[in-house]
Structure 1
C-alpha cells in the first residue's frame, strides 16, 4: 500500500534484460503485430541505446495500440460522425441551476458538501499537464502569473482556496480533528519536474506536502495513417499524451486510486488548471451531487447564444455526452425550452466534474469501449529509408487521445449543475493581448468578482485616483485566504468603504483598511 505521505506516485517499470533470446522474442512479437520496423536500426545502436529501445518496446502493449488504432479508424467516434445520432435535451430530474435555485436550496447543498469535506471524504484531481506555450511561457500553465496585484500563480490561487475551504469545513459540527482535502495533481512527463519544483520552491502554498500527490498522465505512440508506430529517433518511439481522458487509466496505473482507498476518500472534484475562477472542491457542487446520489457530475455554464462555439452536455442516443457545437443543426441549436425560455441545448461544458471513487474504479470495466479521437498532426519522425529525422511541412501522422467526458455515456446516475459563468468560469487559453480567454480577461474577471464580493456584503468601493483599472476592473484583490466565495465579509465591510487600488491578505488587514 502506498504511504499517505507520498509526494509523488510512480509505477516502477519492470527490469528486463536484453539477451539475444529476449531480442528474438521481442522481434517475433512485433513482427506478429506488424510493427517490426521499430527494430530496423537496433543492431546499429550503442549498448545504452539498445537498452533504452528494448525497455520501451518491452513495456509497450503494442497489441493494445493496434486495437486502439483499428477502433479509432474503422469505428469512428460519434464525436466525429453524427449522421445517425439522436440528440435530446437533458432530463429535468438530473439538472439544477444555481441561477434559479433559492438561497435556502443553495445553502442546503453547501452544508451537505461541507459535511463531506469535514469528514475527510473529499479530494481533488487537478488536470495540469499543459504548458504555457500559447501564453509565451515554457513553464507549466499552472505556474503562470496573470498579473494580479499579488502576482500569484494559478497554482497558488487554487491552493489557497483549498486552505480556506479546509478552515471552513473545520468549523462544521462533527468535523474530523484535522480536515484535509488531498490534492492529486496530474502532470505530463515534460511538465512534471518543473511542477514539483515550483510547489517545493513555494513551500506548497501553505498546504501539507503529505497531501499533495503528483502523478503523470499516460502516453500513446504517434502513428502513421496506416497504423505504423512512428519513431522520433533510432532508439526512441515518438509518443504524445493520451488526452485529458487519460486521467482514468493514470489514476489506476500510478496507484492514485489505491492511495484514495487508503485515505477513505469517497468523492472527487476534478477540474482543469487554466480556470482562474474555479471553486476547488466546491461544497455546493459536491453537496448537490451527493444529494442526487450521482456517480458522475458535470458543472456547466449557460451558453451566451445559440451559436456560441462550445460543447454542450446533453443526451446522444439516450446516453449522456458532450456534443460539439459544429455537430448541432442550426434549428436544434436555437430550440428553446417552453417551460423556462432557456436554450434546450444550452449546458456549456467547462471540464469541471464530480465523481465517486466507486465510479472511478468502475472505469476499468468499460475502458475497452471508450472512444479514442484522432488528432492529425505534423510529427517530427524517423525516415526508415534514410535513417534521418524529418520535420514535415504537411500533416504526416496522428495522435490518439481520449477526452475526460468520454466516460459520461457509462454513468448510471448523472447530475448536471449549472453555475454562473461570471463567478466560476474564466479560462486562460490565448496569448496576452488577444482580448478573449487571455491573461487580461482572467485578471479582470477575478478583480470584478472581488468587487462583487464586497458590494454583496454591504460594502462600498471607492475608486482611487491612482487606480489604473485595467480592462475596466477596479484594482481590488482579496486573497482566497480572506474568503472562499464571499463569505465572512459582511461583519467587516457592511456600511463601510474600501479604496482601490488595494490587495488584502487577511480579514485583519481588511478590517484595518475599511473606513
Structure 2
C-alpha cells in the first residue's frame, strides 16, 4: 500500500552536474533535441547562468517531453473543438436509457440504488478521488481551497467536512451483513505543485481528521509549458520554463503516473467517485449514485443538476455529434437552450454539469489508450516572461500567450456505457468560487446552504425548530449544524427528534448531544 507519509508523486530527475562529462554530453543531447523541436531558445541564457541554475534548467528540460508539448500545441491550434470551428455540429438531448433523476424516482427505486451502492462500499470496492489543486485566491486566501473555513458554527474547513462524511459512510457500511471486518474508502487527493506541501501539512496537523493516514494519499496534478501563439515555449526566468497546471483533465495522467491506479488495483477497488473540493454539499462516495451507475453497468457516469433557467450559464451534459460531452452555455444557441422535452416539460438541454463523476477502474486504466485523441483547450492569458533581448522579466499589459489544459469531462466521448444521474441541487451542489460578500457561490452561500440542509434533516425526521432569541441568523436561516459524524444525509435522526423540538442556535457533534437538546 502507499504510505500517506510519503505521498504519491511523479518522480522528477535529479539535477545534473554541469561540470561532468556525462552532463556535458547530456547538455549536447538536450540542445540537439530542443533545436530539432524548434525550442532551442530555451537554452539562450545557459552560458550566462551559475552552475546550479544550469543544472536546474537541464533537469527541467530533460524531464519535459518537448515533442509531446509540440503535438499538443499543434492539436489545440489546428484542430480546435468543433463547437469553436466551422465544422458541422449536431446537438441532441440525453437518451432516456442513460438518464434518471432522483427528483422523479420512487422511494423504492432510490432505496434499491442505495442498497447496491452500500454493498459495494461494504466490500471495499469503492474509492474517492478529490480534485483539490486550487488555491483560495479569489477568497482572499493563499492556502489550498480545502483548508478554507466557510464560517460554520463548528469552524470546520472543507477538508474536515469531507473527511467526516467518509468516516460516517464507512461506519454505516460496516453494519451491513457480510461487510468486511474493516470497511475502508481510500481517499486519493490531487494537489498542484504549489498546494501540495500545505495540503499534506494541514492533514498531518489535524491527524487526518480521524481517518487512517494509510488510506489517504496525495498526488500532484501535471503541468504544461506556457506558449506563445506561434508555438514557442515561454520562460518565467533565464533558468526556468514557464508552466501552468494542465487542467482538471490532467487527473487521468496524474493518477497513472503517480502510482494511484496501481494502488487501486492492489486494493481491489472497482469503482471510483471523483469530485471537486469546492462543493460543500458533495455526498462523497454517494451510495445512491454508486448503486445507480453499477446497476446501469456504466463505465463512466456524471451527476447533474436541473438548470434553473434556459439562460443559466452552466455547461450542459448532452450528445454532441452522437457522443456524450459537456457543451458550454455560450456554445448553445438561444432556440436550443429554450427547447422543451414534451415528455416531462423540462428543458431538453437542462442537465447542468457539476464536476461529479463515477468511473470504473477499468475505464480509468483505458484512458491511456485514447489520451492522444483528447481535446486540449486554449486559455489566452497575460503571462510573465523573459525578454530574450534584454533578459528582463516583463509583465505584459495585454494577452501574450496561452495556457493549455484538458477538462475532466473530455473523456466522456470515449465511454462505452455512460450514465447521467440528476440530483437535487439544494441537497448536493453549492460551489465555493467567489469572494466573500459577492452573494453568489461564495462563503456565505455555502454556509447558508449547509445550515438550510441541516434544518431539513431535522424537519424531515419529524422534528420542530424553535428559533432562539440569541440566534444571529444568516439571511434568516436558523443556525443548526449537524456533524457528518452524526448523520451522512439525514439518516438516524428520526428516532431522536420525531415529535420533539430543538432550539437554535445549536451545534450537534454527537447523537448524545442531540438527545440532550430535544424537548
Deviations 1:465-513 (A, max 9, x none): 1111102211000000010000000000000000000000011110010
1:125 paired residue number: 129
Distance 1:81 1:323 in 2: 14
Counterpart in the other structure of 1:12: 11
Q: What does residue range 86-105 of structure 1 map to in structure 2 within 5 Å?
A: 86-105=90-109
Q: CA separation in 1, counterparts of 2:163 and 2:123?
A: 20
> Which residue of structure 2 aligns with residue 274 of structure 1?
278
Question: Cα deviations across residues 34-67 of structure 1 (Å, max 9, x unaligned)?
Answer: 0000000111111110110001001110000000
Please list every run of 5 or more consecutive structure 2 residues that lacks an aligned counterpart in the other structure: none
Alpha carbons 1:159, 1:205 under 8 Å: kept: yes
Name the counterpart of 2:368. 364
Shifted more, 3-12 versus 250-259: the winner is: 3-12
Deviations 1:95-134 (A, max 9, x none): 0000000000000000100010000000000000000000
Q: For the Cα contact (< 8 Å) 2:83–2:89, is it kept in 1?
A: no
Distance in 2 (CA, whole Å) between partners of 1:202 and 1:234 is 40
1:402 partnered with 2:401:
no
Shift of 1:29: 0.5
The partner residue of 1:464 within 460, 468, 482 is 468
Partner of 2:36: 32
Q: Secondary structure at the match of 1:470?
A: coil
CA contact (8 A) 2:2 2:217 kept: no
Q: Show the counterpart of 2:355.
A: 351
8 A Cα contact 1:4 1:262, kept in partner: no
The answer to whether the Cα contact below 8 Å between 1:7 and 1:210 also exists between their aligned partners in 2 is no
Deviation, 1:406, is: 0.2
Match of 1:141 among 118, 142, 145: 145
Deviation at 1:24, TM superposition (A): 1.2
Establish whether residue 246 from structure 1 lines up as the match of residue 250 from structure 2: yes
Q: Secondary structure at the match of 1:416?
A: strand
Counterparts of 1:266 and 1:79, CA distance in 2: 34
Alignment partners' CA distance in 2, 1:204 and 1:3: 15
Give the match's secondary structure for 1:130.
coil
- Give the Å deviation of 1:3: 3.8
Partner of residue 382, structure 1: 386
Partner Cα separation in structure 2 for residue 284 and residue 82 of structure 1: 41
Contact 1:159 1:207 (C-alpha < 8 Å) held by counterparts: yes
Which 10-residue stretch deviates more, 217-226 or 14-23?
14-23
How much has 1:78 moved relative to structure 2?
Answer: 2.9
Runs of 4+ in 1 over 3 A off after TM superposition: 2-7, 14-18
Q: Is 2:46 aligned against 1:47?
A: no
Give 1:74's match in structure 2, choosing from 61, 74, 78.
78
In structure 1, C-alpha distance between the alignment counterparts of 2:476 and 2:240, rounded to whole Å: 51
Deviates more, 1:222-231 or 1:14-23: 14-23
Cα distance, 1:12 vs structure 2: 2.5
Equivalence for 1:492: 496
Distance between the aligned counterparts of 2:2 and 2:487, measured in 1? 32
Q: 1:498, 1:360 → 2: CA distance?
A: 46
Give, in angstroms, the shift of residue 268 of structure 1: 0.2
Partner Cα distance (2:511, 2:86) in 1: 53
Helix, strand or coil for the counterpart of 1:288?
A: helix
1:246-395 aligned within 5 A:
246-395=250-399
Q: How many residues align?
A: 514
Preserved contact between residue 184 and residue 212 of structure 1 (Cα < 8 Å)? yes
Aligned residues of 2:2 and 2:214 also touching (Cα < 8 A): no
1:26 deviation in Å?
Answer: 1.0
Equivalent residue for 2:509, pick from 499, 505, 510: 505
TM-superposed deviation, 1:379: 0.4
Whether the 8 Å contact between 1:7 and 1:209 is mirrored in structure 2 is no
Shift, 1:6, TM fit: 6.0
Partner Cα separation in structure 1 for residue 103 and residue 2 of structure 2: 42
Q: Who is 2:167 aligned against?
A: 163
Say whether residues 1:183 and 2:182 are aligned partners. no
Per-residue Cα deviation, 1:173-198 (whole angstroms, up to 9, x for no partner): 11000000000000000000000011
State how far apart, in whole Å, the 2-side matches of 1:110 and 1:290 are.
11
CA contact (8 A) 2:4 2:218 kept: no
1: CA distance, partners of 2:475 / 2:47 = 61
What secondary structure, in the 3-state scheme, does the structure 1 residue paired with 2:84 have?
Answer: coil
- How far 1:17 sits from its partner (Å)? 5.4
Question: What TM-score do you get using the length of structure 1 for normalisation?
Answer: 0.99
Deviations 1:428-451 (A, max 9, x none): 010000000000000000000000
Unmatched tracts of structure 1, length 5 or more: none
TM-score (norm 2): 0.98
Whole-Å Cα distance in 2 between the matches of residues 317 and 203 of structure 1? Answer: 49
Q: Answer whether contact 2:143 2:198 (CA < 8 A) is retained.
A: yes
